[in-house]
Amino acid sequence: MKTFAALFSSLDETNKTNEKVRILKEYFKNVPDEDKIQTLALFTGRKPKRQINSTLVKTWAMEMANIPNWLFEESYHVVGDLGETIALLLPNPTATQNKSLSAWIAEINTLANLPEADKKSWLLSAWASMEQQERFVFNKILTGSFRVGVSQSLIVKALAELSDLEPAVLTHRIMGNWDPATFSFIELTQQDDGSSDISRPYPFYLAYAIQETSSQSKSAAEIEEALGATAHWQAEWKWDGIRAQTIKRQQEIFVWSRGEELSTDKFPEFHPFLNALPDGTVLDGEAICFANNCPLPFNVLQTRIGRKNLTKKILSESPMAFIAYDILEHEGVDIRQMPLNKRRQILESLHRESGLQDVFRLSPVVNFSSWEQLYELRKRSRDEFAEGFMLKKLGSPYLVGRKRGDWWKWKVDPLSVDAVMIYAQKGHGRRADLYTDYTFAVWDQDKLVPFAKAYSGLTDKEINQVDYFVKRNTLEKFGPVRTVKPQLVFEIGFEGINKSSRHKSGVALRFPRILRWRQDKTIQEADNIETLNEFLK
Amino acid sequence: MPAKPLLEFNDNGIYCAAGDFYIDPWRPVKRAVITHAHSDHAKWGHQTYLAHTLSREVLKYRLGDIELQTIDYNVPVLVNGVQISLHPAGHIIGSAQVRLEFKGEIWVVSGDYKLEDDGVCTPFEPVKCHSFISECTFGMPVYKWKPQQLIFNDMNNWWKQNVSEGKTTVLVGYSLGKAQRILQGLDMSIGNVYTHGVIQNTHEALGRNGVMLNPTIRITNQTDRDEMRKGLILCPPSAVGTPWIRKFYPYSFGYCSGWMALRGAKRRRAADRGFVLSDHADWDGLLKAIEATNCETVFLTHGYTATFSRYLTDIGFDAHEAHTLYGGDEASTADEPDISLVDEHGEVIQNGTGAEKSDNEEPGSTDSSRKSGLTNQEKSEALKKAKKLGGAL
């Protein structure tokens, strides 16, 4: 695993994509096939099952490092990563080994049935045989928290260059449910696709945003300038649900969410219409809570997605529908290269033939004859329970991954308020040991009421400035949380707002983030709770 | 024990009432004893300075024409009846611990220190005392340094690799301390070492003090870029991301600091290589140093003071946190802001003079008027006010 640990450090040490691809290719050339496929699995989020829970891992690490629990916790807050904290705290190694990545993963997978004492002695001797970097990567794999700052497209690029396969082909082959123990590197890279996996989804086509922030808002004229005549474009509402792909093949059904998670069981409402579809049908669409012909707010969906057991109560309170917007496979044939308008016709005819249109819905095409008209319609997005528009070129094929040009998302400008930062907490990962997670408040008469937490939106430079402020203006500490002098004002943006009995302010926000730091404003100029309540109406 | 302790912390710095002088004061005072020449410890504007002999030229370079008395290690002087002596702190050239003795009571102020002998400055010597005022910049058990030779080996190998790839090697480290330590650890057979002006000026100041360092070449507009590709450039953190550094493209840049021990901090710097090299004591070093003083009481001035004092209390020390404004060089992962923060009345509470910038300061410039952070009184007032505002919090 030393080679794998070294790969991890080398990837950490460069921000240049070409360099990352070079490092990956070099690595793939030099490791055995079992390690290649394990690496691919880890880099695409297919982690081995966690065999020892993190509490035990933590307890044994504290024992070995001989430090008290509170000091371990403090260290964790500074480091921002459990695997790294443990790797740093453990004493220097007393032994050596040269086991490969796949050998270690094989050992981890045999732990399941061992008694706790055996697990412990296995882990302690594993730790004692590793240097810090190897330990870190090992801990990440062991605790099921392995993540790497390399996008799937980069690893695919490296493999494509080594295997002479098209990146899109490889991307498709590594979709879905495969197990590095049974899927071989040879199978992955042979010229003909030998897979018989009927559950395998297609890679999702993702759109770029026309405007990343409201301050870069585009006018109708600018859209026209960039996209050309409206006649070439189809507009649909952008639904605020979960992107999903449904598969019906050989009398079996599968539902995949965008996180490449097989979630067929999470959507029992879909089963009847999927079972009724012809074999060899793959649809792309949005899973969304829906009642009385109307989408429900996202927080209804949120209360449902985390549940293991879908009780009757949950099912009746948060019924789901599938809003279809594309078809990728028809009668068992991959039709992704067909133009969108042709695919749409097939989709519409399938929808017409389905008798279950309450659940199997079609994303309506919004008629418009000028960008100006669409611009005006977009302002009504929230009334339509949508986040804005999706713009798709009528002649576009269904591409792989995020691609510029044919598909765009044109989101509605976020709602926003000016709020005062009152609490701060340290971040994780790249933001470890920096105060980057803030709680914001608005006025309720003469008191500041917290209403949102936000982590993103500031530049690195601004984060450093706020961190500096927090460290010097702390009023009180509660564990990792600091109460700071109410002084800094930020504009907080959010996509939606709902009533909430769980929050002190009485509201819950959808995707709150910092739009900008209002250094020109004093805390007296921040908004009050009535402004938020206005949005609820 | 006398009713009043020999040293106390007030809004100006660490104060000795019996001798009427300060140690490393952050506001202008009459008489200042300086542990070392870093800008957060040696501020401009005091009437008189007392420091170690080897700090003389750097202090004059950084602070201009000051009223400065210098002494060697272990040579006591008397100030209003308080005996002051300096002892090696091993932090940078000329860095000292300040030992005070008055009516049989002994206090030691560590300044910044490290235990490893870096081969450049006089190694740290423990000094027995009743009360020890210690830094704890890296007072967390996750910080454990490797012997510097291992780091230098990595550094030299990386340099060689860059030469073979035709890339300029840029190493970033503080101009006073880190730069000299790196320079003496480099394998000079690989190539020439080039310096940013601030570092070269520091080296020349040290030279006037009789300090001998490996030869370096000051970078000017005339310096041959192709030759530099085989060499190594030493520059301060303030040069990172500036047009000055971009001129050397293609280059690989390495960052030398204790903070490089954590992946998050390393990724934030976006350095090609992070070298864990610190001039502060690590966790084990701090514990060892404190034990060696045989002290009865410890005060922790900067770094992870809360955690470290709690741990010391747990293992039986009488440990306290002290509020100071030190921590300019390595003591904060964050760069200081270069814009001003304004309070609710629109008053500037903090000017944007960065600590890293101060590395770049011209002699005689001032940042002593800066009021960074809150005094204890301001803090309790703000807390009262916030509680009134946020009763529901």
Q: Is the pLDDT of residue A36 over 90?
A: yes
> What is the C-alpha separation between B92 and B174, in angstroms, rounded?
11
Return the CA Rg of chain B. Answer: 21
- H helix or E strand, kind and range, residue A483: strand A481-484
- Residue B142 to residue A85, Cβ atoms within 8 A: yes
* Tokens (6 digits) for A128: 């004692």
**CA A140 distance to own-chain centroid:** 19
* Tokens (6 digits) for A13: 């040490």
A337-363: pLDDT as tens digits? 999 999 999 999 999 999 899 999 999
> What is the C-alpha separation between B68 and B70, in angstroms, rounded?
6
**Interface pTM (ipTM) of the complex?**
0.82
pLDDT confidence of A25, banded at 50, 70, 90?
very high
Report the DSSP beta bridge partners of residue A25. Answer: none
Residue B231 DSSP class: S
State the pLDDT at residue B295.
96
Chain A hits for B261, Cβ within 8 Å: 88
| DSSP for A31-76, written as a single string | S-HHHHHHHHHHHTT-PPPP-S-HHHHHHHHHHHHT--HHHHHHHH
pLDDT mean over A488-499:
90
CB A290 within 8 A of CB A320: yes
State the pLDDT at residue B384.
61
pTM: 0.78
pLDDT mean over A185-200:
80
Write the residue in B336, B383, B392 that is nearest to A476 by C-beta.
B383
Q: Is the pLDDT of residue A449 over 50?
A: yes
Locate the DSSP E strands across A109-229. Answer: 205-206, 208-209
Distance from CA of A83 to the nearest CA of B (A): 11
Chain B hits for A441, Cβ within 8 Å: 390, 393
Chain A hits for B376, Cβ within 8 Å: none
- H helix or E strand, kind and range, residue A171: helix A167-173
Q: Which residue of B has its CA nearest to A86?
A: B142
Distance from CA of A12 to the nearest CA of B (A): 7
Using alpha carbons only, give the angle B197, B201, B202 rounded to the nearest 5 degrees. 120
Chain B hits for A434, Cβ within 8 Å: 264, 268, 333-334
Q: Which residue of B has its CA nearest to A439?
A: B393
Mean pLDDT, chain A, whole residue set: 91
State the pLDDT at residue A476.
87
Sequence-ordered list of residues with C-beta below 8 angstroms from that of A80, at least 6 positions apart, any chain: A426, A427, A428, A429, A431, A432, A433, B262, B264
Q: What percent of chain A clears pLDDT 70, i.e. is strictly above it?
A: 99
Query: Under DSSP, is residue A479 helix (H, G, I), strand (E, B) or coil?
Result: coil
pLDDT confidence of B118, banded at 50, 70, 90?
very high
> What is the C-alpha separation between A534 and A536, in angstroms, rounded?
5
Write the residue in B140, B268, B391 that is nearest to A78 by C-beta.
B140
A124-157: pLDDT as tens digits? 999 999 999 999 999 999 998 888 878 888 999 9
* Antiparallel, parallel or unpaired: β B193-195 and B217-218: parallel
Place of tokens 């290719």: A25
CB A475 within 8 A of CB B383: yes
Write the residue in B334, B343, B346 that is nearest to A468 by C-beta.
B334
State the pLDDT at residue A17.
87
B43-90: pLDDT as tens digits? 999 999 999 999 999 999 999 999 999 999 999 999 999 999 999 999
pLDDT mean over A202-208:
92
State the pLDDT at residue A504.
82
Query: Under DSSP, is residue B131 helix (H, G, I), strand (E, B) or coil?
Result: strand
> What is the C-alpha separation between A189 and A441, in angstroms, rounded?
54
B10-49: pLDDT as tens digits? 999 999 999 999 999 999 999 999 999 999 999 999 999 9
pLDDT confidence of B359, banded at 50, 70, 90?
very low
State the pLDDT at residue B388.
57
Chain A hits for B144, Cβ within 8 Å: 88
- H helix or E strand, kind and range, residue A51: none
Please tell me the total number of residues recorded for chain A in this structure: 537
Distance from CA of B39 to the nearest CA of A (A): 18
- Residue A13 to residue B273, Cβ atoms within 8 A: yes
- Of the candidates A327, A321, A278, A274, the residue with the CA atom closest to the CA atom of residue A301: A321
Q: Which residue of B has its CA nearest to A12?
A: B267
State the pLDDT at residue A350.
96
Q: Does A483 touch chain B (CB under 8 A)?
A: yes
Pick A434 or B184 by higher pLDDT. B184
Pick B246 or A370 by higher pLDDT. A370
Write the residue in B264, B310, B391 that is nearest to A433 by C-beta.
B264
Q: Is the pLDDT of residue B360 over 50?
A: no
Sequence-ordered list of residues with C-beta below 8 angstroms from that of B341, at least 6 positions apart, any chain: A465, A469, A487, A488, A519, B348, B349, B350
- Residue B268 to residue A70, Cβ atoms within 8 A: no
- Residue A432 to residue B346, Cβ atoms within 8 A: no
- Residue A473 to residue B374, Cβ atoms within 8 A: yes
- Residue A473 to residue B265, Cβ atoms within 8 A: no
* Tokens (6 digits) for A410: 């044109």
Pick A193 or B262 by higher pLDDT. B262
B294-348: pLDDT as tens digits? 999 999 998 899 999 999 999 999 999 988 777 644 434 333 323 333 233 333 3
Range of weakest confidence among A46-50, A293-297, B344-348 = B344-348
State the pLDDT at residue A417.
93
Q: Which residue of B has its CA nearest to A436?
A: B334
pLDDT confidence of B209, banded at 50, 70, 90?
very high
- Residue B267 to residue A504, Cβ atoms within 8 A: no
pLDDT confidence of A166, banded at 50, 70, 90?
confident
Ranked by mean pLDDT, the top range of A164-168, A361-365, A455-459, B356-360 is: A361-365
Chain A hits for B141, Cβ within 8 Å: 65, 67, 71, 75, 88-89
**CA A265 distance to own-chain centroid:** 20
User: Among residues 506-535 of chain A, which lie with CB inside 8 Å of chain B?
Assistant: 519, 522-524
Q: Which residue of B has its CA nearest to A486?
A: B386
- Residue A467 to residue B334, Cβ atoms within 8 A: yes
Q: Is the pLDDT of residue A254 over 70?
A: yes
B240-294: pLDDT as tens digits? 888 888 889 889 989 999 999 999 888 877 788 999 999 999 999 999 999 999 9
- Residue B264 to residue A432, Cβ atoms within 8 A: yes
Q: Which residue of A has its CA nearest to B332?
A: A468
Query: What are residue A473's phi and psi, to 5 degrees?
Result: -130, 35
Residue B275 DSSP class: E
pLDDT mean over B373-379:
54
CB B172 within 8 A of CB B271: yes
Write the residue in B265, B333, B343 that is nearest to A487 by C-beta.
B343
pLDDT mean over B383-392:
53
Residue B130 DSSP class: S
> What is the C-alpha separation between A314 and B182, in angstroms, rounded?
64
State the pLDDT at residue A443.
94
Query: What are residue A220's phi and psi, to 5 degrees?
Result: -60, -40
Q: Does A449 touch chain B (CB under 8 A)?
A: yes
Ranked by mean pLDDT, the top range of A95-104, A460-469, B244-253, B356-365 is: A95-104
- H helix or E strand, kind and range, residue A530: helix A529-536
**What's the sign of the alpha-carbon dihedral A257, A261, A267, A270?**
positive
